[in-house]
């Protein structure tokens, strides 16, 4: 069984993001880049499935400029077997990403696709659902637990009211939530081995996909700064300020 995991290059989650002065985008000058945290969870889950003997190969796929190879190498160091970079300098929207993944699913004969539920930069939460629709595959989104059972996968989903368990026929799409697992760190020997693993490079055109975005970023701006809080001396003073100043009670 082949597993495809999606990898996205984003600004490191610990970095404070700055907007450009003209509001046209995010300032990436000297910003530390990393693998999207939800993609890390997807890679970890794929590795655990392979370690359990239920998968033969893990393919890490990223879409973007050449520098995305760094994040693919990270996935290879963690335990993925092979990488694919779909190289483009264009900004891709979720539907285009889903179309690229579908082309690779068809080409490689993928039985299980594991994606992060969203990326921390655009926060769209759409690719997994769109890919499932394009492939006509069952989907288990917001997975907090996943377990293979013969030719099926049982996914426990996080929902508003608690948890929902679904049993999906393979091939299927799974998107990861935070509680699915705790990603491992890459060891130095595995980092060195990853340098010898294969990363195939292709373009969207090679897969028969046109980069046509229907999304346009109008403006990016930092959130307004909130005024500093104050310390009150008593409950009575707090209630008074809530009534007279904040006017919330």
Closest CA to 213 of 89, 101, 128, 105: 89
Q: How many other C-beta atoms can be found within 10 angstroms of the C-beta atom of residue 90? A: 13
Q: What is the dihedral of CA 24, 28, 33, 35, to 10 degrees?
A: 0
Q: What is the pLDDT of residue 245?
A: 84
* Residues of the chain under the 50 pLDDT cut: none
Q: What is the pLDDT of residue 227?
A: 81
Q: Which two tokens stand for residue 49?
A: 């499935």
pTM given for the model: 0.87
Q: What is the pLDDT of residue 36?
A: 96
- Report all structural domains of the chain as residue ranges with CATH numbers, in order of start: 2-244 (3.40.50.620)
**Measuring CA to CA, how many Å separate 152 from each of 5, 23, 134?**
18, 47, 20
Only one residue has tokens 């995991």, namely 5
Q: What is the pLDDT of residue 43?
A: 97
Q: How many other C-beta atoms can be found within 10 angstroms of the C-beta atom of residue 53? A: 8
Q: What is the pLDDT of residue 34?
A: 94
């Amino acid at each position: 069984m082949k597993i495809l995991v999606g990898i996205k290059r984003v600004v490191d989650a610990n970095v404070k993001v700055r907007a450009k002065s003209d509001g046209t985008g995010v300032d990436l000058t000297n910003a530390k880049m990393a693998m999207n945290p939800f993609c890390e969870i997807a890679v970890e889950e794929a590795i655990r499935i392979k370690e359990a003997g239920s998968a033969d190969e893990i393919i890490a796929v990223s879409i973007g400029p050449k520098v995305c190879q760094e994040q693919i190498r990270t996935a290879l160091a963690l335990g993925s077997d092979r990488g694919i970079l779909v190289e483009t300098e264009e900004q891709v929207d979720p539907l285009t990403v889903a179309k690229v993944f579908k082309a690779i699913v068809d080409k490689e004969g993928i039985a299980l696709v594991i994606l992060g539920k969203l990326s921390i930069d655009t926060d769209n939460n759409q690719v997994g659902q769109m890919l499932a629709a394009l492939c006509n595959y069952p989907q288990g989104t917001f997975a907090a637990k996943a377990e293979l059972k013969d030719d099926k996968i049982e996914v426990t989903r996080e929902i508003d009211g608690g948890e929902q368990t679904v049993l999906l026929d393979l091939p299927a799409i799974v998107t990861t939530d935070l509680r699915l697992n705790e990603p491992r760190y890459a060891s130095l020997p595995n980092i060195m081995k990853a340098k010898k693993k294969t990363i195939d490079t292709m373009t969207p055109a090679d897969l028969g996909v046109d980069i046509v975005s229907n999304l346009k970023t109008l403006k990016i701006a930092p959130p307004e700064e909130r005024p500093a809080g104050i310390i009150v001396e008593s409950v009575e003073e707090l209630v008074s300020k809530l009534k007279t100043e904040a006017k919330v009670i």
